[in-house]
Chain A
Amino acid sequence: MDSLFSASELAFRDELRRFFRSAVPDGMRRKVRLGQNLSAQEMRDWHRILDAKGWAAPAWDAAWGGTGWNPMQIHMYREELHMAYAPTPFAINISLAGPLIIAFGSDEQKARFLPGIKNLDYWFAQGFSEPDAGSDLASLRTHAVQDGDSYVVTGQKAWTTLAQHANWMFTLVRTSSEGRKQDGLTFLLIDMSSPGVTVRPVISIDRDHHVNEVFLDNVRVPVANRVGEEGRAWSYTKYLLTQERVIGARAAMTKLKIAKIKEAAAKLMENGVPLSDRPWLQSRLAALEVELTALEITTIRVLAEMQSRAGDTFDPKSSMLKLKGSELYQRADELLVDVLGPLGLPYTPGFLQGEDDAEALVPEWARTAMQKYFLNRATTIYAGSAEVQHNILAKAILAL
């Protein structure tokens, strides 16, 4: 892979590598390596470490704390961060809330929110999906009615990631039901401590608490907390989700899983030989590595094209990255489960939260694999399901 990069790119990568290998506190690195959750406080600490280096939100406009790096450099940053078992910066803040306010917010909103979004003082929830609006997001029903200098918001949001920690939520609401359903949507920033906001945990099939339902019952939101213009939120959302898909390839995270598979296979035996020598595993593993390397190269191609096409960052190929990237991520999860076999079955309560396993039922590297496999079935569902990506590609590239 190194032969794809120029000397200056490799030098830049070394700089990133040096930083990430020394900047992550040992306890955090261990948790990331074992697949455990960081506490909210640890996440804030990590954002502060990144912020102190000026690297908390590299893709942002330089005026608001971004780095001015080009897309390839930002890609390398994400790769090196993952490869060093550094915690992933909170994407809802860094890739959605921040870019939303930078692109469409008022000067007052920028000054008020962006520093706190960057260092996680403001922890944002994403108020997009609803029980009846998943892949068909535009059909959402949470509505806001203006009353003096406030909107009054009523409705229900679903799949709200880590809302249990959030103090703010950027929320898609319907301000009009006339015309196309896409045209009546507006973005509001809602203070989660407002009267009428209720958060209900939803436990996912890894028996962990990632997502929530958020109920909004006549919540008063100052008009000053509207982002951009009324009725324009659909185009803002499309812009944001395009940003999300470039990240979708998640090659580095899949690579770490492959490394884990190799590590586990070297320790386990099957029919009297090391599992790592079994042809079925070698073949599946090699096939996965090949597909992943191809996808990494596709990512580099998309980024290179992006750079040569200044200004316009949209490339329908980003749908391909999301589609293939999530598929390979899931295939790695699946292969690790297959490699562990019965070792994957014992459930260790509390381990995901960072508690040690007093009884040591199974080695620590075997404890979260199956839970991750279960949870990560969601990667081909969220941020535009695999089927939606197929529709996009059929239309945008094949013109069908």
Chain B
Amino acid sequence: MTTSAFFVSDEHRLFQDSVDKYLQQQYSFSQRLQHAAAPDGWSRKVWADFADLGLIGYWLPADYGGYGAPPLTMSSVMEALGKALVLEPILPTAILGAGCIELAGRPEQCAALLPSVAQGKLLLALAHAEEHARYDLNAVRCSAVREGAHWLLNGEKFMVLGAPAADRLIASARMDGGEMALFLVNPRAAGVRIVPYITQDGHQAGNVTFDGVRVDAPDRLDACADAAAVIEQVAERAVAALCAEAVGVMSRMLDLTVDYLGTRKQFGVKIGSFQVLQHRAVDMLVALDQARSMTLGALAALERGRPDERRRMVAAAKAQAGRSARFVGQSAIQLHGGIGVTMEYMVGHCFLRSSTIEVLFGDAEHHLARLASLGGLVGPALEGEPANV
């Protein structure tokens, strides 16, 4: 009997090696600053290389130009992207956008779009969240009204990740009956307005306004009747991916901190010889490992769990990643001292990213409350009398 839980295939190991090697060569801290200074705020060259590596389509269905890798592989891949603080739009395009098309698109829509996504030729953005919604995935006020062969979209979307460079938006809106639906929208169509900005961590986002935007009827993603369920499932993938990315960011922060403790000298000794700092670093290690384990649990549940287990484990993972990220991030800054609060050193950039991930798709408090409402993770204990099983 062997534990299959965290089995890693040889193919994945090879793929992971190539990703790690690429990031090592092309994504140092100074190279990252250059990527960030490009017109898009990230590098088109790196994006093309990601496509060549097979990274963009890694989790897309093999039928549509992807590799069909199982969710558990996200742990090592997203962790690597987190360690390098990668800016390129994997989350908006490969996970959020492509996820919606895969789960809600008709086969011809999938065939028309997903292979281009995998090849790095089509950038996507999911225009779902609205400013009033906070973390409620169902709080959609945008409307879609059918007019002959078209849908008319009206409303405002908030903090659409990857919006500035997107070739295609996937917009959620409510139809007449109140049901949610998903639409493919050309960002250059009349009535679409995007106000681009960066989030605190330097990633690209934008607010999107739809003002009477005409969408051809065939551009509704309507293979799945329940768009709200699609959004929930895609959000679960995104949360798990962000947790794995956070693990990477945290592990980079811990590495940087341990290196710093081993080199920085004060009072004539390496500061790593002080027990109070050693113990703080160990607490960072434990917090990181807790997040790593819970993330693996969530990915395993995504891969083969029932919907109920999936929901609980994903909420648990985001809660743990959020709590851990806050502790590890704040500790990393504290142990670095003054250099930690400058833009000149990597650890500060890590903290910006980890703090952003804390908020995206729900913070720890949100997911703890959600988990409690789902009944928690520990069921009632065995009653006094022996049960029949």
CA distance A301 to B357 in the complex (A): 25
Interface of B is mostly: helix
- Are A260 and B3 in contact, CB atoms less than 8 angstroms apart? no
CA distance A396 to B71 in the complex (A): 32
Question: Which of B49-57, B149-157, B200-208, B365-373 has 4 or more CB atoms under 8 Å from chain A?
Answer: B365-373
- Please indicate which of the listed interface residues B278, B290, B313, B364 has the most CB atoms of chain A within 10 Å of its own CB: B290
- Are A26 and B384 in contact, CB atoms less than 8 angstroms apart? yes
CB-CB under 8 A from B388, the residues of chain A are 21
With beta carbons under 8 angstroms apart, the residue of B279, B297, B305 that contacts A387 is B279
CB-CB under 8 A from A295, the residues of chain B are 290, 293
| Nearest CB in chain A: distance from B387 CB, A | 6
| Nearest CB in chain A: distance from B93 CB, A | 28
CB-CB under 8 A from A294, the residues of chain B are 290-291, 293-294, 297, 316, 320
| Nearest CB in chain A: distance from B322 CB, A | 10
- Are B368 and A283 in contact, CB atoms less than 8 angstroms apart? yes
- Are A393 and B285 in contact, CB atoms less than 8 angstroms apart? yes
Q: Residues 92-104 of chain A: 1 if any B CB is under 8 Å from the residue's CB, otherwise 0?
A: 0000000000000
CB-CB under 8 A from B303, the residues of chain A are 3
CA distance A285 to B378 in the complex (A): 10
- Are A391 and B275 in contact, CB atoms less than 8 angstroms apart? yes
CB-CB under 8 A from A391, the residues of chain B are 275, 278
- Are A289 and B376 in contact, CB atoms less than 8 angstroms apart? yes
Q: Residue B267 at the A interface, CB < 8 A?
A: no
- Please indicate which of the listed interface residues B278, B286, B309 has the most CB atoms of chain A within 10 Å of its own CB: B286
| Nearest CB in chain A: distance from B242 CB, A | 16
Q: Residues 285-327 of chain B: 1 if any A CB is under 8 Å from the residue's CB, otherwise 0?
A: 1100111111011001101110001000100100110010000
With beta carbons under 8 angstroms apart, the residue of B3, B278, B378, B386 that contacts A398 is B278
- Are A398 and B281 in contact, CB atoms less than 8 angstroms apart? yes
| Nearest CB in chain A: distance from B81 CB, A | 22
CA distance A297 to B301 in the complex (A): 12
- Are B262 and A400 in contact, CB atoms less than 8 angstroms apart? yes
CA distance A258 to B380 in the complex (A): 9
Q: Residue A232 at the B interface, CB < 8 A?
A: no
CA distance A260 to B383 in the complex (A): 11
Q: Residue B14 at the A interface, CB < 8 A?
A: no
Question: Which of A7-15, A118-126, A178-186 has 4 or more CB atoms under 8 Å from chain B?
Answer: A7-15
- Are B279 and A394 in contact, CB atoms less than 8 angstroms apart? yes
CB-CB under 8 A from A324, the residues of chain B are 286, 290
Closest B residue to A6 by CB, please name it: B4
- Are B305 and A3 in contact, CB atoms less than 8 angstroms apart? yes
- Are A307 and B3 in contact, CB atoms less than 8 angstroms apart? yes
Q: Residue B195 at the A interface, CB < 8 A?
A: no
| Nearest CB in chain B: distance from A36 CB, A | 13
CA distance A298 to B364 in the complex (A): 20
Q: Residue A72 at the B interface, CB < 8 A?
A: yes
CA distance A158 to B160 in the complex (A): 64
CA distance A36 to B58 in the complex (A): 55
CB-CB under 8 A from A22, the residues of chain B are 386
Tell me whether A4 and B297 are in contact in the complex, defined as CB-CB below 8 angstroms, given that A286-B376, A290-B377, A390-B278 are known contacts. yes
Tell me whether A259 and B378 are in contact in the complex, defined as CB-CB below 8 angstroms, given that A21-B389, A398-B281 are known contacts. yes
| Nearest CB in chain B: distance from A363 CB, A | 14
- Are A291 and B6 in contact, CB atoms less than 8 angstroms apart? no
- Are A298 and B368 in contact, CB atoms less than 8 angstroms apart? no
- Are A307 and B2 in contact, CB atoms less than 8 angstroms apart? yes
Q: Residue A1 at the B interface, CB < 8 A?
A: yes
| Nearest CB in chain A: distance from B180 CB, A | 28
Closest A residue to B376 by CB, please name it: A289
CB-CB under 8 A from B385, the residues of chain A are 26
Tell me whether A289 and B377 are in contact in the complex, defined as CB-CB below 8 angstroms, given that A390-B278, A400-B261, A400-B278 are known contacts. yes
Closest B residue to A395 by CB, please name it: B278
With beta carbons under 8 angstroms apart, the residue of B5, B292, B369, B371 that contacts A5 is B5
CB-CB under 8 A from B289, the residues of chain A are 298, 317, 320
- Are B294 and A297 in contact, CB atoms less than 8 angstroms apart? yes
Q: Residues 61-81 of chain B: 1 if any A CB is under 8 Å from the residue's CB, otherwise 0?
A: 000000000000000000000
- Are B372 and A286 in contact, CB atoms less than 8 angstroms apart? yes
- Are A4 and B1 in contact, CB atoms less than 8 angstroms apart? no
CA distance A273 to B1 in the complex (A): 48
- Please indicate which of the listed interface residues A4, A17, A22, A84 has the most CB atoms of chain B within 10 Å of its own CB: A4
Binding site for B on A (CB under 8 A): 1-6, 8-9, 12, 14, 17-18, 21-22, 24, 26, 29-30, 33, 70, 72-73, 83-85, 255-256, 258-260, 262-263, 279, 282-283, 285-287, 289-298, 300-301, 303-304, 307, 317, 320, 323-324, 387, 390-391, 393-394, 397-400
Beyond known contacts A291-B290, A297-B293: 8 more, CB 8 A cutoff:
A3-B301, A85-B384, A293-B297, A294-B294, A295-B290, A304-B6, A317-B289, A397-B285
**10 A-B contact pairs sorted by A residue (CB < 8 Å):** A4-B297, A21-B389, A260-B381, A262-B378, A283-B365, A287-B323, A289-B371, A291-B290, A323-B286, A393-B286
Binding site for A on B (CB under 8 A): 1-6, 258, 261-262, 272-273, 275, 278-279, 281-283, 285-286, 289-294, 296-297, 300-301, 303-305, 309, 313, 316, 319-320, 323, 364-365, 368-369, 371-372, 376-382, 384-389
